[in-house]
Amino acid sequence: MRLRIYRFDPDVDERPRMQDYDVALRHTDRMLLDVLVRLKEIDDSLSFRRSCREGVCGSDAMNINGRNGLACIQPVSELKEPVTLRPLPGFPVVRDLIVDMTQFFAHYHSIRPYVIDDRPMPERERLQSPEERERLNGLYECILCACCSAFCPSYWWNPDKFIGPAGLLQAWRFITDSRDTARAERLAYLDDVYRLYRCRTIMNCTEVCPKGLSPSHAIEQIRTALVKESS
Amino acid sequence: MARHSTGDAARAAPKFLNLAAIRFPVGAIASILHRISGIVLVLALPLLASALGESLSGPEGFRAVLEGATRSWYAPLLLVGVWALVHHIFAGVRHLLMDVGIGSRLAPARASAFVSIAAGVVAAVVWLALWAVR
Amino acid sequence: MRVFSGQRAWLLQRFSALAILVLLVLGAFTLAGADGSAYERWHALATSTHGSVLIVAFFVSMGLHAWIGVRDVVLDYVHPLALRLPLLAVVAFVLVAVQIRVAMILMGAS
């Protein structure tokens, strides 16, 4: 299989470059991550993050033939050669396919990703009906891989001020959680020309989410909630 | 300048943002065209105001505006304005509907994006065809 | 400019868009239902009270819609304040000038 991979070593390179590889695959190499691991036999300097190898940790998010995805669940059979791999767009490159996720996580923290209830602790659990729990489906499954935010043009142009699809989806996850009591504050925090309203409903996020989630739909629900809140 | 200290590395960190190397979905195309058509329309607004004045200055002024739009040397160039108006309205209505939850799922959103792009192109072609057979 | 803050600007953008669409349709119907040549119908619309209100409302809606749209474009791409402020000022000036021009045209038409 032929690949073209983005290479950048900050200790050696002045600027990034593309490197060509040609690797013989075994029949057991089913996913792109398998290919990358096999490439390490040829070129051990190639660097990328990976962990669970089953699409739940989000470590190996990268730009694959022009679209963001997870290398570990990207079947090799679906890829056109030469397979072009680049780091997530718009994120500072640490080395090769490894990007700096600091800003991304900062946005996640800024939306307070935890249930807020400062009342005295209840005697028993905070109960949720099946319908209330149902509202978290399509939101809690986010693995924070950043495929969405790194494919969002609005996030590219203002990565420091726009929260981005991942952060906004998580914001909605807590706004819509029946156990949370800080709904009004959460919505007020988002009501800002940058934080939420850089979103133009381009929907690139939903197109590339490897978990099949829809950040654009979550954002639509935040906007509706804001309108309802103010009327 | 091959060696960087750790302090320099953060400042010098490159980003991959080569838009030509990114494979954009149809919705993204519709979106950027929506933005471009919007800018075209803003630039056309003062011209529209001028045309308003001319068209109300008398029957001759009115005819001059119509002749300008259909028979002048710049009439075919107005296809840019026609494309911009039609695309912006189609893409805009698409957004209005998605805002209230109509067609905001991926499949219908892709379809409506394609329709918006096609509508603008068709309008421009029709304009050019009408001008050609005037 | 708190006037055009987050949700408010987003809603105004939508409302002005709807207003423009409605006004275009109203204008088209008025012209279609009137008597006389094209020029006579147009002139009648522009000099009537309800017609000139339609035209002013159209340009005001266009101006607001354009302002919010251009501001979004500038906020996305133009980051240095030294570029951003003059650019927005020029756009605001042109949009206001268009409103004044339209008002003067309609007042002068008879």
Domain residues for the domain of C55 are 2-108
Q: What is the CATH number of domain A102-230?
A: 1.10.1060.10
**CB atoms C4 and A154 under 8 Å:** no
The neighbours of chain A, by the rule of 3 or more Cβ pairs under 8 Å, are: B, C
Average of pLDDT values for C23-32? 90
Among A8, A216, A223, the residue with its CB nearest the CB of B14 is: A8
Distance from CA of B99 to the nearest CA of C (A): 9
Cα A172 to Cα A134, A178, A197, A203, C35, distances in angstroms = 14, 12, 14, 17, 56
Pairing, β A2-7 against β A83-86: parallel
Positive or negative: CA dihedral B14, B16, B17, B20: positive
Say what the pLDDT of residue A29 is: 96
Report d(CA A100, CA B62) in Å as an integer. 61
**CB atoms C72 and A230 under 8 Å:** no
Which residues in chain C are closer than 8 Å to B96, comparing Cβ atoms?
Answer: 14, 17-18
Q: What is the pLDDT of residues A164-177, one digit of tens each?
A: 999 999 999 999 99
Quick one: pLDDT band at residue C110, thresholds 50, 70, 90? Answer: low
Residue of A nearest to C5 (CA): A193
Report d(CA A24, CA A30) in Å as an integer. 13
Backbone angles phi, psi at C79, to 5 degrees: -95, -40
Asked whether A108 and A144 are in contact (CB, 8 A), the reply is yes
Say what the pLDDT of residue C106 is: 92
Q: What is the pLDDT of residues C52-68, one digit of tens each?
A: 999 999 999 999 999 99
Quick one: pLDDT band at residue C31, thresholds 50, 70, 90? Answer: confident
**CB atoms C7 and A158 under 8 Å:** no
Residue by residue, DSSP assigns C30-42 as HHHHS-S-HHHHH
Q: Considering only CA atoms, which of A227, A217, A218 is closest in space to residue A174?
A: A218
> Residue B67: exposed, middle, or buried by beta-carbon count in 10 A (0-12, 13-18, 19+)?
exposed
Say what the pLDDT of residue B1 is: 42
Q: Would you call B7 an interface residue with chain C, using a CB distance cutoff of 8 Å?
A: no
Say what the pLDDT of residue B4 is: 46
Low-confidence ranges of chain B (pLDDT < 50): 1-5, 9-10
Q: Would you call B23 an interface residue with chain A, using a CB distance cutoff of 8 Å?
A: yes
Say what the pLDDT of residue C2 is: 63
Q: What is the pLDDT of residues A119-157, one digit of tens each?
A: 999 999 999 999 999 999 999 999 999 999 999 999 999
CATH of the domain at C44: 1.20.1300.10
Kindly report the pTM of this predicted structure. Answer: 0.93
Number of domains in chain C: 1
Which residues in chain A are closer than 8 Å to C5, comparing Cβ atoms?
Answer: 191-193
Give CATH 3.10.20.30 domain extents, chain A: 2-99
Indicate whether this complex's ipTM tops 0.95: no
Determine the distance from the C-alpha atom of residue C11 to the mean position of all C-alpha atoms in its chain, rounded to a whole number: 16
Those residues with Cβ within 8 angstroms of residue A44's Cβ, 6 or more apart along the chain or in another chain: none
Residue of C nearest to B92 (CA): C17
Say what the pLDDT of residue A9 is: 96
Pick A2-99's CATH classification: 3.40.50.300, 3.30.2350.10, 3.30.479.10, 3.10.20.30.
Answer: 3.10.20.30
Q: Please report the number of interchain residue pairs, chain B to chain C, with beta-carbon separation below 8 angstroms.
A: 53
**CB atoms A10 and B9 under 8 Å:** yes
Q: Greater confidence, C12 or C36?
A: C12
Average of pLDDT values for A70-89? 98
Q: Would you call A225 an interface residue with chain C, using a CB distance cutoff of 8 Å?
A: no
Say what the pLDDT of residue C33 is: 86
List the domain boundaries for chain B.
Answer: 26-132
Q: What is the CATH number of domain B26-132?
A: 1.20.1300.10
